[in-house]
DNA sequence: AACCGCTTGTGAACGCCTGAACAAAGTCGC
DNA sequence: GCGACTTTGTTCAGGCGTTCACAAGCGGTT
């Protein structure tokens, strides 16, 4: 069984696979044993054909005429997305947002465990957040080396995000989730994903304005925004 | 004056315009009067040619041989993205994440003002968060009608997100930012943008594993830093 | 006034992703 | 045991977004 990696999986597909996995976990808790692509796609908010295409990157994993085994597909997706093993994450910048993330149970339940919380503010250092003690950023390098953390989450103000990022990379972190509103530059071999909250709101504001200002037919209106048809 | 909206602006472009606007605001504060597309693109983490194409949707707004006027471009982007006018937002679900968002200064500075915080938990209702008092969700309809809020932010648990969404839409909200890990279904004419934090982490975990497990040539590695958020 | 360098704006090619139609395959009913 | 129905997996075409490359235009200089 050496193969099973014939082609590479597009990043957009990987993101959707994570969504399917979550839906499947819910179905498994509900006692369901099988699902069709149509039902799964409806729950995930995507097109059934696209869902089947996504799953086909993993090789055949359904039964024609029946559908997909909930437990079987869940296990295969879990393995494809990185396995069960817990991944150590370091969080830098324990403000309001950082505290919320440190407490967010949705991470721990998916195998992501925060092993260190760092901040520069002496008033914050020492506090307990989500079961961990906030430590000074000076301990960043030692903490990463000690815990073998592979993921860094940056929730600092924009002006120090690049510096923090550089230190994380130098310490060995190769995956970074950035909430600071700046474009981080990193060497090749390091992945960055950016979440920009105010940009999301601004896009909504634009769509709102466009709707009001241009009543005549504009873009071909999506029949359904996100959810399933019928 | 004939409106200058000959073509529609792709959503991906709109998201980047918001980023450019933020960079320009920083440059204006720094006293800069002009920028080139190369410098602006570098600061925003995109390709210079793509940036020029994005800006071209607004019509010619630069001077050849010189670059873009910082203040002029900032004003034009501001207008294109919805103007200066403040937009009223309602936030439902005042947990850790909701509280963090209610306090986030990045929203208010861009014209987004929370006019109502709602929660079901009696222990949370009545608390002061970000200068507002948390109110029970029963007041949702009245609040939206009274404040003419156009944007709703959902930070509730997944199982009640759809119900909250339906009530927001029925009350008149036409733009929704969803942090709950479910696909919301809405009628045509309502826009939903979804932020899924655990999916972001899971994509990073996948890329990490792929790097370790498949040393042979994979996808053409981006030379520059920022992968992008589609 | 004309030239030259610099930067924008745009046209075209490339690649990726999405959405729909078709064939393969397995199961249920008789 | 055989036929028909259901559902997957795949193939094909279409659209969208991104990238490269070049012509057009403006300022400064001689």
pLDDT of residue B7: 59
Q: Which two tokens stand for residue B182?
A: 């479910």
From chain A, pick out residues whose CB is under 8 angstroms from the CB of B210.
8
Q: What is the mean predicted confidence (pLDDT) over B206-213?
A: 83
Res. B223 pLDDT band, cuts 50 70 90:
very low
pLDDT exceeds cutoff 50 at B5: no
Per-residue pLDDT of chain A (230 residues; tens, 9 = 90+): 334 444 589 999 999 999 999 999 999 999 999 999 999 999 999 999 999 999 999 999 999 999 999 999 999 999 999 877 889 999 999 999 999 999 998 898 899 999 999 999 999 999 999 999 999 999 999 999 999 999 999 999 999 999 999 999 999 999 999 999 999 999 999 999 999 999 999 999 999 888 876 543 333 333 333 433 33
Q: What is the mean predicted confidence (pLDDT) over B98-110?
A: 92
Measured CA distances, B74 to A168, A194, B10, B17, B105 (Å): 33, 23, 19, 10, 20
Distance (Å) from the alpha carbon of B47 to chain A's nearest alpha carbon: 12
- A138: DSSP letter: G
pLDDT exceeds cutoff 90 at B80: yes
pLDDT of residue A7: 58
Res. B209 pLDDT band, cuts 50 70 90:
confident
Distance (Å) from the alpha carbon of A160 to chain B's nearest alpha carbon: 15
The answer to whether the C-beta of B38 is closer than 7 A to strand C is yes
pLDDT exceeds cutoff 80 at B218: no
Q: Which of residues 44-73 of A touch strand D (CB under 7 A)?
A: 48-49, 52-53, 55-56, 60-68
Q: B227 vs A61, which has greater pLDDT?
A: A61
* Dihedrals phi, psi of B71, to nearest 5 degrees: -70, -40
pLDDT of residue A55: 96
pLDDT of residue B226: 44
pLDDT of residue A207: 92
CA angle centred on B181, ends B140 and B105, rounded to 5°: 60
Please check whether the two domains, A11-80 and A87-198, share a CATH topology. Answer: no
The Cα–Cα gap between A155 and B15 comes to 20
Segment B132-158, tens digit of pLDDT: 999 999 999 999 999 999 999 999 999
pLDDT of residue A53: 96
pLDDT of residue B213: 65
Counting one residue from chain A and one from chain B, the pairs whose CB atoms sit within 8 A come to 242
Taking the C1' atom of D6, which residue's CA lies nearest? Answer: A65
Query: Which nucleotide comes closest to B50 if you measure CA to C1'?
Result: D18
pLDDT exceeds cutoff 60 at B190: yes
Residue reference for tokens 């310490």: A171
Distance (Å) from the alpha carbon of A215 to chain B's nearest alpha carbon: 11
pLDDT of residue B84: 80
Residue A223 host element (H or E):
none
Q: Which residue of B has its CA nearest to A219?
A: B8
- Asked if A167 contacts A93 with a C-beta cutoff of 8 angstroms, the reply is no
Architecture of domain B11-80 in CATH?
Orthogonal Bundle (1.10)
Mean pLDDT lowest among A196-210, B72-86, B209-223: B209-223
The Cα–Cα gap between A56 and B148 comes to 46
The Cα–Cα gap between A112 and A92 comes to 15
- Positive/negative CA dihedral, A151, A156, A158, A163: negative
Q: What residues of chain B, 140 to 159, have a C-beta less than 8 Å from chain A?
A: 150-151
pLDDT exceeds cutoff 70 at B227: no
Q: What is the mean predicted confidence (pLDDT) over B214-221?
A: 38
Q: Does A108 touch chain B (CB under 8 A)?
A: no
Segment B29-56, tens digit of pLDDT: 999 999 999 999 999 999 999 999 999 9
Tell me if A177 and B204 make a contact (CB, 8 A cut-off): yes
The Cα–Cα gap between B53 and B42 comes to 15
**Residue ranges of the domains in chain B?**
11-80, 87-198
The Cα–Cα gap between B104 and B88 comes to 15
pLDDT exceeds cutoff 50 at B23: yes
Segment B111-121, tens digit of pLDDT: 999 999 999 99
CATH number for the domain formed by residue range(s) A87-198: 3.40.50.720
Query: How long, in residues, is chain A?
Result: 230
Mean pLDDT (chain B) is 89
**% residues pLDDT > 90 (chain B):** 82
The Cα–Cα gap between A170 and B185 comes to 43
* Distance from the Cα of residue A198 to its chain's centroid: 18
The Cα–Cα gap between A202 and B107 comes to 9
pLDDT exceeds cutoff 50 at B1: no
pLDDT of residue A213: 65
């Amino acid at each position: 069984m050496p193969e099973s990696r014939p082609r590479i999986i597009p990043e957009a597909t990987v993101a959707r696979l994570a969504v399917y996995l979550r839906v499947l976990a819910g179905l498994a808790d509900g006692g369901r044993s099988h699902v069709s692509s149509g039902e799964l796609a409806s729950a995930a908010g995507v097109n059934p054909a696209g869902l089947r295409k996504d799953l086909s990157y993993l090789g055949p994993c359904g039964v024609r005429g029946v559908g997909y085994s909930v437990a079987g597909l869940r296990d295969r997706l879990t393995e494809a997305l990185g396995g069960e093993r817990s991944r150590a994450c370091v969080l830098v910048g324990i403000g309001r947002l950082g505290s919320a993330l440190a407490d967010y149970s949705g991470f721990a339940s998916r195998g992501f465990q925060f092993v260190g919380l760092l901040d520069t503010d002496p008033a914050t250092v020492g506090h307990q957040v989500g079961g961990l003690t906030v430590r000074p950023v000076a301990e960043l390098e030692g903490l990463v080396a000690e815990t073998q953390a592979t993921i860094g989450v940056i929730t600092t103000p924009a002006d120090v995000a690049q510096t923090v990022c550089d230190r994380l990379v130098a310490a060995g972190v190769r995956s970074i989730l950035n909430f600071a509103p700046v474009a981080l530059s990193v060497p090749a071999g390091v992945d960055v994903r950016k979440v920009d909250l105010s940009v999301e709101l601004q896009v909504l504001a634009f769509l709102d304005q466009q709707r009001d200002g241009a009543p005549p037919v504009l873009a071909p209106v999506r029949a359904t925004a996100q959810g399933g048809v019928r």
